[in-house]
Homo-oligomer: A and B are copies of this chain.
Amino acid sequence: MTFDEARAAFPVLERLAYLNAGSMGPLSRGTAEAMRTRLYDDLERGRGGGAYIEEMLRLRADVRAALAALIGVEPQQLALTSSTTDGCNIVLAGLGLGPEDEIVTTDAEHFGLAGPLHTSGARVRVARLGDGDPVGAILGEVSARTRLLALSHVAWTSGNSLSPLELKRETGLPVLVDGAQSVGAIEVDAAPFDFYTVSGQKWLCGPDATGALYVADPDRLHVARPTYFSQSSFEPGGAFTPTEGAARFDSGWIAVPSLAGLEVALRQAPDWRFERVLAASERCRALLAEHFDVVTAPGQSGLVSFRADTPAALVARAAERGVVIREIPGTGLVRVSCGYWTSDGDLERLLDALV
């Protein structure tokens, strides 16, 4: 697949410099078409009966296998969720931590991770990242009471990697990685970690409210939030035999049209996508650095963030010119998301709109 072919799959790119995959990726024509087809099947044939259930289960298995392969883990280690937030809640509720336990996290986390940490019952120690080395700041918060490191692979604010693999190797502690800004943007090997979340609607260009959670050892995490998919049998009162593998953590029904769309989205990404993301974000970084204080280091992922005096005004000005970017509230940062589909023309439009 050539770059032009890959790009042509996304109608929004004909109209806008859509640089927003860190929030929601562009949808492809094929993804929307698969959703529409499934929706109209449901309309005409109903949502019931053996064939409907079989197809739903087939789609779940297919999407589970494709997502597992993408992050280098076994399908039996992957739960289907509706978001990274879901994944974080499943892990934090399932660990059963108490006030004597500590979790180390950073001050750059999205509420999708930070909220579940706060409600976990453990004491949360927050590493202040500032502009220095994230690994040193995080290790500085680790103590004998640390039960979990919980952090993004790539910070949604600065776009910088927080080096989770180095932290895992240094500490040997259980690590929960928020993969919202990594999976689909950069090559990810989740296997060395204990828990790793996936967002379907961002860099994977899937339908909204799709995602996954990698659990290295499903038997060592409590099912704190059971759904129908969690059990293979149950007694009155709810005692149950858990489903084999990480499917016991499946967060619930995922709309069948969304599964059909995600299946196509996962299949259609070109095999050169990760190189192209890095090339596009490096080009974006270089262009922006001529005019702004860019906080993203080279060679990170698809995000490029820079400081602005009036971020909201800058984002609004860009929007008027057909350029979709966003601010990161409370940080003074504007964030640009570069995907494998991003062209030099998109980046020229960005610069024209900003400068």
Contact = CB atoms under 8 A, between A and B. Distances in A.
Contacts of A201: 47, 253
A203 to B, nearest CB: 13
A93 B224 contact: yes
A299 to B, nearest CB: 25
A29 B238 CA distance: 38
Nearest to A106: B236
B227 A46 contact: no
Nearest to A319: B49
A1 interface: no
A355 interface: no
A207 interface: yes
Contacts of A20: 46-49
Contacts of A114: 234, 236-238
A225 to B, nearest CB: 5
Contact of A42 (B27, B228, B255): B27
A43 B228 contact: no
Interface string A48-86: 111000000000000000000000000000000011011
Contacts of A46: 12, 16, 18, 20, 24, 26, 324
Contacts of A112: 227-228
Interface in A1-50: 11-12, 15-16, 18, 20, 23-27, 29, 32, 35-36, 39-40, 42-50
A158 B319 CA distance: 56
Contacts of A207: 255
Contact of A117 (B42, B119, B238, B253): B238
Contacts of A254: 209
Nearest to A222: B119
A238 B124 contact: yes
Contacts of A270: none
Interface string A79-109: 0001101100100010000000000011111
A252 interface: yes
A253 to B, nearest CB: 5
Given A43-B32, A93-B93, A256-B208, A48 B240 contact: no
Contacts of A209: 82, 209, 252-255, 258
Contacts of A12: 43-46
A48 B227 contact: no
A276 interface: no
Contact of A107 (B24, B45, B93, B236): B236
Contacts of A228: 85, 110-112, 115
Given A107-B237, A116-B238, A126-B237, 14 more contacts: A12-B45, A36-B39, A36-B40, A82-B252, A93-B224, A111-B230, A111-B234, A111-B238, A111-B240, A114-B234, A115-B230, A126-B236, A209-B252, A209-B254
28 contacts: A11-B44, A12-B46, A24-B48, A36-B40, A47-B208, A48-B326, A50-B319, A82-B82, A85-B226, A86-B252, A89-B226, A93-B93, A93-B225, A105-B237, A107-B236, A111-B228, A111-B238, A115-B226, A115-B231, A115-B234, A116-B225, A116-B238, A118-B239, A119-B226, A124-B238, A126-B237, A207-B255, A209-B253
